[in-house]
Amino acid sequence: MSRALLLLVGTFLGLAPCGGWVIRQLLQHGIGKHIRYDGPASHQVKAGTATMGGLYILAGVAIVTALLSLAGRSRAVLPLLAMLAFGALGAFDDLRGLRDAQGVGWLARLKFPWQCALSALLAAVMYLTTAQHLVVVPVTGRAVGIGWWFVPVAAVAIVATANAVNFTDGLDGLAGGTLALAFAAYGALAWASGDGSLTLFCFAVVGALLAFLWYNVHPARMFMGDVGSQALGAGLAAVAVLSGHWLLLPIIGVVFLAEVLSVMGQVIFFKYTRRKYGEGRRILRMAPLHHHFEQGGMSEVQITLRFWLAAAVAAALGVAAGLGWGR
């Protein structure tokens, strides 16, 4: 654990000074955020903020993972592969959004099939290159082999988490902070199970996220974009599946779960009421969930900090359940 914590600190110290240069490069290349027309009106002041900052995070994690591989920690390559693959999809989405004056990127009905195909491929690679395919039962700590079921479980987890994190990335610091807590929780679980490679990888990601948050907390100077949110969501799911603690993902990632369920519920209820009453009605003021609170008068900082608190409590509960009660 001491090595993992030192790696976190080293990653942060190595990346944080580079943030200003990254922001200047992004803006010089015209990579400034276009705010979607269907978002909160108050967010229009953020137009032009450097985006695609996920490239900054991915670069740092890739360098650290390469060094870990040279040191014999090759297992860390698998979650990095998931991050890079979904980062490529996210980058394509971001670039389409930059070309659209209203910030609309890749349509979901076109993006989703690519995500499913890519996640299935990643799941197959992880299955073929991993000796054990386990699920650790929460509370009891009992590990059970799941065989080839590993593939559909991994594929669904990757797609679901990538999209859930993407929905969460809507306020300054929100996605970055909740992701840092989730990766730290999985790093602790990996350490407890003796998986040094995943432990080091998770804490390297936490260090990179903290460096990013230095520039992303309110008022943000840089956004992660889909290249960051989709990549980090896929990486988190890959770590959860490889560690065997994927049943804890809805707990440790409770904020991501709440955000994606809020969108699904809003869409389903709107379509149902439109068919039944001829007029669509809404459950929330605006989806995802953080916008509902924002439209209710809460400030961006209040929402972000309270979601961080919820994520921290959920992460602690997830680690406790993963270790087993009373152990």
Q: What is the pLDDT of residues 50-71, one digit of tens each?
A: 889 999 999 999 999 999 888 8
Cβ atoms 161, 42 nearer than 8 A:
no
What SS3 state is found at 150? helix
Q: Which amino acid is at 327?
A: R
Report the C-alpha gap between 287 and 291 in whole angstroms.
6
Cβ atoms 115, 256 nearer than 8 A:
no
Lowest average pLDDT, out of 94-103, 175-184, 230-239, 244-253, goes to 94-103
Q: What is the pLDDT of residue 15?
A: 95
The residue length of the chain stands at 327
Q: What is the pTM of this model?
A: 0.94
DSSP letter, residue 36: P
* R_g of the chain computed on alpha carbons: 19
**Mean per-residue pLDDT, 213-218:** 95
| Domain spans in the chain, listed from the N-terminal domain onward | 2-138+145-247
Cβ atoms 17, 30 nearer than 8 A:
no
Cβ atoms 189, 323 nearer than 8 A:
yes
Report the C-alpha gap between 116 and 124 in whole angstroms.
12
Report the C-alpha gap between 252 and 315 in whole angstroms.
5
CA dihedral 276, 280, 285, 290 (to 10 degrees): 90
Residue ranges with strand state E in 3-140: 134-136
The answer to whether residue 41 scores a pLDDT higher than 60 is yes
The answer to whether residue 39 scores a pLDDT higher than 80 is no
The answer to whether residue 240 scores a pLDDT higher than 60 is yes
